Structure 1
Amino acid sequence: MKQDTALSERPAVGATPTGPDPERAAPRYTGGQIRNILIGLMLAMLTSMLTNSIVGTALPTIIGELGGQDKLAWVASASLLTMTATTPLWGKLSDIYGRKPLFQVSLVIFIASSVAAGFSTDISWLIGARLLQGVGMGGLVSLPQIILGDVVEPRERGRYSGYLGAVFGVSTVAGPLLGGFLVDSPLGWRWCFFITVPLAVVSFGVIQWLLRMPAHERTANKIDWWGATCIVGSAAAVMLLLSLGGKEFAWNSPVTYLFIVVALVLAVSGVFAERRAEDPIMAPRLFRNPTFVLAGLASLLVGVSMFGVMIYFPQYLQIVKGMSPTASGLMTLPLVVGMLSASISSGMLVSRTGKWKIYPVAGMLLVSAGFGVLSLLQVHSSIALVGTGVGLIGLGLGLSMQILILATQNALDRADMAAGTSAVTFFRNLGGAIGVSAFGAIMTNSFSSGFRSVGAEAIAAGASPDELAVAATGSPAAIHALPDAVRELVLGAFNDAMHHVYVVGAPVALAAFVVVLFLRPTPLRSHT
């Protein structure tokens, strides 16, 4: 009963602060209660992150059973599309309807869509389920940060947010390994979707039992539907372009220009809608806050770097180093260990000192150095050099990702905290989509060019045109089945392609470093 008394002193979640002290104290949860709530939030984030990394491993098997090779890009990108597009909405809707109900709604959507995906009988059904899954994931990646902002004061938030950031690293390694195990086991690929359901159910129960909030008072009589439509529509157009461009249609095509026009028109319309709305989804005043703008831009660049290395690094290991999918997943351990250690330790140090700017500054330098090391890789480079490069990137990302969100929350009024947190998360996800698309185009074009240049040498070395045609698809098995002399030529072409990816990644990280240098090092508040 003591807990309920303390909580009753807190204003309704999402209500505009009133009175002489708008920055009222957070409810007095005990350390044990906060840890249990944190476990529930981490489980929710883990389910959403695991989904994409697990499915990536299972895609060839899924397409082989359900058919629809021409729709593979849709299966891979559907959830990322709707997750990114809907992320800004979840924060604002939680201001209106309350954090806990919206978090549980996102869990229910995720659970229902995961079950539907697992029971898919054709590729269209699976794509529809993945689209709905992404809607739930949008809430699961943004609302835990917002709830943590409600429960813990900014000065103490660092030590807990570090654990949320570490979840991403764990899911990066666990996903491919778990996906490969499930596909090869009697359970089959359908359990790649079913496996996350128990975690989501446990998270729902933990939050239902432990997260006690006062009765919520709705702060708006009317939802900004026009602004929401424009924001989601513009983001969806950009995501469709980045996800499908170069696969479903050429970059230099009428479809590309149509998506660009639609995205721009909706974005401009959204600006006018938000300026006129009584209670906007993404208030224009947010963009007058320099910390929010700089943290959002830095998060976008972090997303480009992070997703670029995580998506394409396993290909280097499987093709150039000849590793199995399981072994290549294990080789990402330096990345994960770096993210875990840096995220947790920096969070604790931030809580102890109240100072945070040094961590993203150092983090972006480490990411740049990591890309620099990876750009030195050759076909026969040592595993130690590979591990050093990804380890540096992991350390840098661990020092940066959660601290940028923490800095944003600290710089905004309580009434804008949810919208600001969702927006920064949205920028990071958008950066990830840009990174996957841009680095993929760089790698594909570089490999195609390099492969053509060694074609004559490969034929002279004894390769048949049919063997080269199969190897040109980038299949690790096909490449390593080539004669030794030919294989060395093809591996060299692929290594050069990956070199171009890492060379581009370094200046992206340096740009993020420059951006965070301009962040104002405002000390963390000791109240929410």
Structure 2
Amino acid sequence: MVDVAKDGAQRSGGAQPRAGAQPGAEGKPGDEGKPSSGPQPRSVRVVILALMIAMLLAMLDNMIIGTAMPTIVGELGGLEHLSWVVTAYTLATAASTPIWGKLGDMYGRKGVFLIAIVIFLIGSVLSGMAQDMGQLIGFRAVQGLGAGGLMVGVMAIIGDLVPPRERGKYQGMMAAVMAVAMIGGPLVGGTITDHLGWRWSFYINLPLGAVALAMVTAVLHLPKKQRTKARIDYLGAGLLTVGITSIVLVTTWGGTEYAWDSAVIMELIAIGVAALTGFLFAETRATEPIMPLHIFRNRNFTLMSVIGFMAGFMMFGAVLFLPLFQQSVQGASATNSGLLLLPMLMSMLVVSMIAGRITTDTGKYRLFPIIGGGLMVTGLFLLAQMDTETSRLTSGIYMAVLGAGMGFLMQITMLVAQNSVEQKDMGVASSAATLFRTLGASFGVAIMGALFTGRVQDEMAARGGATATQHSAQLDAASLAKLPDPVREAYEFAVASGTHAAFLVGAGVAVVGFVAAFFVKEVPLRGAGPAPATAAAAPTGDKTVDSTVDQAGDKPVDETGDKTADKTVDKVAEQV
């Protein structure tokens, strides 16, 4: 088995891996002078497969649990606490994301990643054993804590193993995992709940997690990091956790549990602002900050954080409201709710694969955020035009346009963000990009949800009177079919009107991401480009790659250190 750790060969005096070095490409007899760009070793593909399984664990969980929730409430009771089953998981995931990223940077990613998987599996087992709603909520928080480490760990490890120039090859795999989770989650959840019981919705994570643990332990070999002497930034971690928790609670409770102008929401906003302000101050003084502020000085990194926030805002808003529209207005079955998103997800998958391949072959990427932003604005505007007469074919085409925009953005944002920082900050860069996308999703669901609910209630009151208003919470197609025709028609119009408002505002917000994309700078991606025609061209190509790393903002290449890190380049340099 080829040792993947060779991809991380370090320069003397720095944490930078050799630019363009492919995993397993060094140390073979007779390789002197050969270009480093070539097929990824089989070991790297096995590692990527293990990482994708871990990623699937985190993404699939909420989709499966959503289908099982009615059965869970029926057995455990506690309907008034239902929302906390999801909120506890989301809060723990968002709050722990930056901490997991920094721990990986400080102490090594493999060990931290394995700990995250174990915590997630422990939370899964405990959730399946819960005897009341309070226990379930607490155990879901444990699960969410592990999930935060899963997502960040996957992105950071891929950032360590695969140079940005080569990472486009794996974009299709990541998009496929997302599609499988969104389409298969509800179907799997319903099947498990009906035939095995709701507790197996949690236990199903165990075999997948065991496979991921075994594969990662066996084939993932990263350079060992020495334990840092600096203390963990406990103050920064605490303030950031309080700030993120306040933000997520505001977006979750605002307009639902509490009015937007209620004392609880105002207090949460004040606490969040104070905590985040204190966090910024603390990070300027910390020896080893939990989220170094200097990474935001890089224009591309900051722009990708903004674009990632907008992409999360739009994507999860669309995932929430498109099934509602198709079930309530177009009469689709709730059982196949995941399949309703197929046009959007397939479009996203295909475009992501094409964009990734082009990025790998050419090293160019600046055009993709611009095209993606434009398609998202267009797709959301088209979806805002849907009404009670819109056919499923037409809405499917609109969804495909939106999905194409997401395909250009979802993985490119992470790739460019990671390429904009030094290797030692790969974890915090990955966690920051993931956090902004998570917060974007939280804001998107909250804002678009508030607009949707308000418009539905207003239209029901205006068109159906008091009788229709009583049915404004019904979204099930079978239940709507039993309503009197005037009430059902009023409700269908109200849902279409609410969808129009939500997506129209979404299109307006997406314009911000579209404009931001024009300011992205085309910084060459670290990593090898296409192989030269002859081996004689290798030394020149190697120097070009080193120059690329310098342009990308990494530490200057030290010739002596380069020789120490890579014997192959040493021999080539002596020949020159």
Query: What SS class does the counterpart of residue 115 from structure 1 fall into?
Result: helix
Structure 1 contact 166–343 (Cα < 8 Å) conserved: no
1:96-142 deviation line (CA, Å, top 9, x unaligned): 12100111111001111011111111101110111111111111111
Q: CA deviation at 1:179?
A: 1.5
Tell me, yes or no, if structure 1 residue 482 matches structure 2 residue 492.
no
Tell me, yes or no, if structure 1 residue 511 matches structure 2 residue 515.
no
Structure 2 contact 460–469 (Cα < 8 Å) conserved: no
Q: Distance in 1 between matches of 2:451 and 2:144?
A: 27
Q: CA deviation at 1:301?
A: 0.8
Relative to structure 1, is the Cα distance of residues 278 and 5 closer, same or farther in structure 2, using a 3 angstrom cutoff?
A: closer
Q: Distance in 1 between matches of 2:464 and 2:510?
A: 35
Q: Distance in 1 between matches of 2:160 and 2:208?
A: 23
Query: What SS class does the counterpart of residue 332 from structure 1 fall into?
Result: helix
Q: Distance in 2 between matches of 1:261 and 1:489?
A: 40
Matched AA of 1:96: M
Tell me, yes or no, if structure 1 residue 39 matches structure 2 residue 71.
no
**1:359-378 to 2 correspondences below 5 Å:** 359-378=368-387
Aligned partner of 1:135 among 142, 145, 155: 145
Query: What SS class does the counterpart of residue 94 from structure 1 fall into?
Result: helix
1:152-182 deviation line (CA, Å, top 9, x unaligned): 1121112124422332222111111212222
| Correspondence for 2:559 | none
Tell me, yes or no, if structure 1 residue 449 matches structure 2 residue 458.
yes
Q: Distance in 1 between matches of 2:42 and 2:495?
A: 51
Q: Distance in 1 between matches of 2:4 and 2:526?
A: 25
Q: CA deviation at 1:5?
A: 8.2
1:199-237 deviation line (CA, Å, top 9, x unaligned): 121111111111012332123431111111111111011
Aligned partner of 1:28 among 20, 23, 26: 23
Query: What SS class does the counterpart of residue 324 from structure 2 fall into?
Result: helix
Aligned partner of 2:252 among 243, 247, 268: 243
Higher mean alpha-carbon deviation, 421-430 vs 339-348, is at 339-348
Relative to structure 1, is the Cα distance of residues 475 and 23 closer, same or farther in structure 2, using a 3 angstrom cutoff?
A: same
Matched AA of 1:354: G
Q: CA deviation at 1:468?
A: 5.2
Q: Distance in 2 between matches of 1:475 and 1:116?
A: 32
Q: CA deviation at 1:363?
A: 1.1
| Correspondence for 2:237 | 228
**1:110-509 to 2 correspondences below 5 Å:** 110-183=120-193, 185-456=194-465, 465=467, 469-509=470-510
RMSD of equivalent CA atoms: 1.9
| Correspondence for 2:563 | none
| Correspondence for 2:522 | 521
Relative to structure 1, is the Cα distance of residues 406 and 5 closer, same or farther in structure 2, using a 3 angstrom cutoff?
A: closer
Structure 2 contact 53–212 (Cα < 8 Å) conserved: yes
Q: Distance in 1 between matches of 2:505 and 2:156?
A: 33
Q: Distance in 1 between matches of 2:16 and 2:138?
A: 44
Structure 1 contact 158–347 (Cα < 8 Å) conserved: yes
Query: What SS class does the counterpart of residue 3 from structure 2 fall into?
Result: helix
Matched AA of 1:386: S
Matched AA of 1:28: P
Q: CA deviation at 1:2?
A: 5.9
| Correspondence for 1:462 | none
Aligned partner of 2:66 among 44, 56, 60: 56
Higher mean alpha-carbon deviation, 226-235 vs 172-181, is at 172-181
Tell me, yes or no, if structure 1 residue 98 matches structure 2 residue 108.
yes
Q: CA deviation at 1:143?
A: 1.1
Q: CA deviation at 1:471?
A: 4.6
Tell me, yes or no, if structure 1 residue 3 matches structure 2 residue 13.
no
Q: Distance in 1 between matches of 2:22 and 2:226?
A: 17
Q: Distance in 1 between matches of 2:195 and 2:3?
A: 47
Q: Distance in 1 between matches of 2:179 and 2:4?
A: 35
Query: What SS class does the counterpart of residue 369 from structure 1 fall into?
Result: helix
Relative to structure 1, is the Cα distance of residues 92 and 447 closer, same or farther in structure 2, using a 3 angstrom cutoff?
A: same
Relative to structure 1, is the Cα distance of residues 476 and 219 closer, same or farther in structure 2, using a 3 angstrom cutoff?
A: same
1:367-419 deviation line (CA, Å, top 9, x unaligned): 11211221121213111111111111111111101101111111111122221
Structure 1 contact 166–344 (Cα < 8 Å) conserved: no
Matched AA of 2:508: P
Q: Distance in 1 between matches of 2:469 and 2:208?
A: 45
Query: What SS class does the counterpart of residue 71 from structure 1 fall into?
Result: helix
Q: CA deviation at 1:323?
A: 1.4
Query: What SS class does the counterpart of residue 224 from structure 2 fall into?
Result: coil
Q: Distance in 2 between matches of 1:405 and 1:4?
A: 22
Matched AA of 1:266: A
Q: Distance in 1 between matches of 2:215 and 2:287?
A: 35
Q: CA deviation at 1:4?
A: 7.3
Q: CA deviation at 1:21?
A: 9.0
1:253-283 deviation line (CA, Å, top 9, x unaligned): 1111111111111111111111000111111
Q: Distance in 2 between matches of 1:195 and 1:399?
A: 32
Q: Distance in 1 between matches of 2:15 and 2:198?
A: 54
Structure 1 contact 109–136 (Cα < 8 Å) conserved: yes
Q: Distance in 1 between matches of 2:251 and 2:342?
A: 29
Tell me, yes or no, if structure 1 residue 19 matches structure 2 residue 9.
no
Structure 2 unaligned regions, length at least 5 = 25-39, 529-548, 550-576
Structure 2 contact 295–301 (Cα < 8 Å) conserved: yes
Q: Distance in 2 between matches of 1:27 and 1:214?
A: 14
Structure 1 contact 169–335 (Cα < 8 Å) conserved: no
Matched AA of 2:462: S
Structure 1 contact 300–428 (Cα < 8 Å) conserved: yes
| Correspondence for 2:78 | 68
Q: Distance in 2 between matches of 1:440 and 1:110?
A: 29
Query: What SS class does the counterpart of residue 170 from structure 1 fall into?
Result: helix
Matched AA of 1:420: A
Q: CA deviation at 1:28?
A: 2.3
